């Protein structure tokens, strides 16, 4: 049973968050180990697994971007690698564009930043954050809508489009985090939770 099926949902990307939450709560009331405390010990492992699967399904579907990532894995038959992030190569044109920025960043790391340099990097970071947001909006919006409307023959092309957008987003995120680190904005070594 895949994550969509657990919730009795078709393999579609546009779904109502409130309704999903409602179903998750209802299913939790039936499957959570707390409800089955009185069940015999030999059943407990199964109860635990059922509950863990429900939680994993909700985690994967709750957020629009995570949902796309899950769909791509599912369509490609890789859904067993639960939680593994999609890490395809960054799009070449984005790489070229970022080249200059990376150089400036390396310089900053080596030498330290003057006020002007800081300001430039901060502005650059703001801009990248906006693009990151745009990429997410595209994934959750038009691309997801396209998937839901697509005929089976169009789907492979859409999966490729998803992968490209996800890769661009992941790459932007990395650069944004690097810039943040250079600007001293990250918590001391605390890895930001990629909460999609």
| CB burial readout 150-182, b (16+ within 10 A) else e | eeeeeeeebbebbbbbbbbbbbbbebbbbbbeb
Stretch that binds other proteins, among 21-29, 104-112, 131-139, 151-159 (CB under 8 A): 21-29
Q: Closest approach of Cβ 57 to other proteins, in Å?
A: 11
Which of 10, 80, 110, 184 is close enough to bind other proteins by CB under 8 A?
80
Q: Is 78 in the site for other proteins (CB under 8 A)?
A: no
CB 182 within 8 A of CB 108: yes
Binding mask 92-111 for other proteins (x = CB under 8 A): --------------------
Which of 19, 43, 49, 76 is close enough to bind other proteins by CB under 8 A?
49
Q: Which is nearer to other proteins, 8 or 83 (CB)?
A: 83
CA distance 112 to 148: 49
CB 143 within 8 A of CB 165: yes
Which of 17, 39, 48, 123 is close enough to bind other proteins by CB under 8 A?
48
Start-end of H helices in the chain: 3-6, 17-31, 41-62, 64-75, 92-111, 115-138, 144-149, 155-182
Where do we find the tokens 């947001």? 133
Stretch that binds other proteins, among 29-37, 96-104, 125-133, 154-162 (CB under 8 A): 29-37
CA distance 24 to 157: 31
Q: Is 87 in the site for other proteins (CB under 8 A)?
A: no
**Residue 57 Cα to chain centre, angstroms:** 14
Q: Is 19 in the site for other proteins (CB under 8 A)?
A: no
Binding site for other proteins (CB under 8 A): 21, 25, 28-29, 32-35, 37-38, 48-49, 51-53, 55-56, 58-59, 80-83, 187, 189-191, 193-195
């Amino acid at each position: 049973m895949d994550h969509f099926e657990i919730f009795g949902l078709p393999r579609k990307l546009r779904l109502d968050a409130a309704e999903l939450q409602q179903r998750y709560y209802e299913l939790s009331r039936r499957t959570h180990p707390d409800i089955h405390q009185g069940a015999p010990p030999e059943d407990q492992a199964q109860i635990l697994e059922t509950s863990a699967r429900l939680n994993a399904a909700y985690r994967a579907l709750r957020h629009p971007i995570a949902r796309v990532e899950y769909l791509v894995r599912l369509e490609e038959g890789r859904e067993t690698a639960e939680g593994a992030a999609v890490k395809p190569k960054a799009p070449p044109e984005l790489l070229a564009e970022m080249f200059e920025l990376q150089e400036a960043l390396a310089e900053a790391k080596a030498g330290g930043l003057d006020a002007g340099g800081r300001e430039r990097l901060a502005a650059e970071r703001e801009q990248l954050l906006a693009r990151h947001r745009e990429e997410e909006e595209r994934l959750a919006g038009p691309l997801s809508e396209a998937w839901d409307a697509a005929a089976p023959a169009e789907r492979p092309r859409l999966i490729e489009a998803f992968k490209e957008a996800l890769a661009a987003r992941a790459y932007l995120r990395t650069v944004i985090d690097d810039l943040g680190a250079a600007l001293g904005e990250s918590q001391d070594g605390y890895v930001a939770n990629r909460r999609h």
